Amino acid sequence: MAQENQSPLTGILEEDRVFIDFGEHEGKSVLEVADTLPDFYDYLIDKKTSGSCTIRRTKDKLYKLYLTPTKL
């Protein structure tokens, strides 16, 4: 069975349940960023594609989006 409407950033998780945990957009949901800041949303998708973006579930059962530091 194929999954329809999967997010390119969060996969099967709903974008309104995943919150950004860095920078000036900290605390905003991915859905809010997708609606209001499409360029930043595209940047996040690029980071996920390159492996620099992770989603973790916290102790309070929220999903947080993190950027992982790059190795030099």
State residue 5's pLDDT score.
Answer: 77
Whether the model pTM is above 0.85:
no
Q: Is residue 1 part of a domain?
A: no
Q: Is residue 60 part of a domain?
A: yes
Q: Is residue 6 part of a domain?
A: no
Domain with 59, as residue range(s), is 15-67
Q: For 6-19, how does the pLDDT look when each residue is reduced to its tens digit (9 = 90+)? A: 999 999 999 999 99
Residue 23 pLDDT > 50, yes or no?
yes
Q: Based on the structure, what is the number of domains in the chain?
A: 1
State residue 71's pLDDT score.
Answer: 56
Q: For 29-72, how does the pLDDT look when each residue is reduced to its tens digit (9 = 90+)? A: 999 999 999 999 999 999 999 889 999 999 999 999 999 876 55
Residue 67 and residue 47 in contact, taking contact as beta carbons nearer than 8 Å: yes
